[in-house]
Amino acid sequence: MNIKKKIASLALAAAFITTTFTAADAATREEIAAINVKANGSNFKYWTKDSAPLKQLKDYMADITNKNSRNYIPKENRVAVFDMDGTILCETAPIYFDHMIFLHRVLEDKNFTPTQEEYQTAKNIEAQIKKIGVPYPSTNNARVNANSFRGMTREEFVKYNKDYMNANVKGLTNLKWGEAFYLPMMEIISFLNNNDFKVYIVSGTEREMVRVLLDGLQNLPPNQMIGSDIIHKADNQGDTASEKYTFKRNDNIVRGEFLIKNLNMNKTNAIIKEIGIQPVLAFGNSMSDAAMMNYAITNNKYKALAFGVICDDRERELGSKKTEEAMLKGCKDYGWTPISMKNDFKTIYGDNVKVQK
Residue 130: band (very low, low, confident or very high) from pLDDT cuts 50, 70, 90: confident
Instruction: Name every residue whose Cβ is closer than 8 Å to that of residue 208 and which is 6 or more positions away in sequence.
Output: 154, 157, 158, 161, 227, 230
Looking at residue 25, what is its pLDDT? 56
Residue 182 confidence (pLDDT) above 60: yes
Calculate mean pLDDT across residues 142-169. 97
- Could you count the other beta carbons within 10 Å of the beta carbon of residue 228? 27
> pTM of this prediction?
0.91
Percent of the chain at pLDDT above 90?
Answer: 85
**Cα gap 179→168, rounded to integer Å:** 10
- Specify which residues 180 forms β-bridges with: none
Closest CA to 295 of 333, 269, 325: 269
Taken in order of first residue, the domains within the chain and their CATH numbers are 29-91+178-344 (3.40.50.1000), 97-164 (no CATH)
Calculate mean pLDDT across residues 225-239. 97
**Cα gap 262→271, rounded to integer Å:** 11
The helix, strand and coil proportions of the chain, stated in percent and rounded to the nearest 5, come to 40, 15, 45
Helix (H) / strand (E) element for 234: namely strand 225-234
**Cα gap 89→315, rounded to integer Å:** 17
Given a contact cutoff of 8 angstroms between Cβ atoms, the answer to whether 338 and 331 are in contact is yes
Looking at residue 90, what is its pLDDT? 95
Residue 22 confidence (pLDDT) above 70: no
| Phi, psi dihedrals of residue 17, rounded to the nearest 5° | -65, -40
Calculate mean pLDDT across residues 78-83. 98
Query: Which ranges of the chain would DSSP assign to H, the alpha helix?
Result: 3-17, 29-33, 52-64, 97-107, 116-132, 139-147, 154-164, 183-193, 207-213, 265-274, 290-297, 321-334, 341-344
Tens digits of per-residue pLDDT, 251-308?
999 999 999 999 999 999 999 999 999 999 999 999 999 999 999 999 999 999 999 9
Tens digits of per-residue pLDDT, 86-95?
999 999 888 8
Looking at residue 4, what is its pLDDT? 40
**Cα gap 130→237, rounded to integer Å:** 42
Compute the C-alpha angle 302/303/304, nearest 5°: 105
The per-residue pLDDT of the chain, averaged, comes to 92
Closest CA to 183 of 218, 227, 220: 218
| Phi, psi dihedrals of residue 147, rounded to the nearest 5° | -60, -30
C-alpha dist (Å) from residue 169 to 82, 89, 199? 22, 11, 26
Instruction: Name every residue whose Cβ is closer than 8 Å to that of residue 15 and which is 6 or more positions away in sequence.
Output: none
Q: Which residues of 116-136 are buried (b: 16+ CB within 10 A; e: fewer)?
A: eebeebbeebeebbeeeebbe
C-alpha dist (Å) from residue 144 to 121, 132, 141, 150, 161? 7, 21, 5, 10, 17
Given a contact cutoff of 8 angstroms between Cβ atoms, the answer to whether 149 and 105 are in contact is yes
Axis crossing angle, helix 139-147 with helix 116-132, rounded to the nearest 10: 140
Residue 174 confidence (pLDDT) above 50: yes
**Choice between 14 and 116, residue whose per-residue pLDDT is larger:** 116
Closest CA to 184 of 35, 29, 337: 35
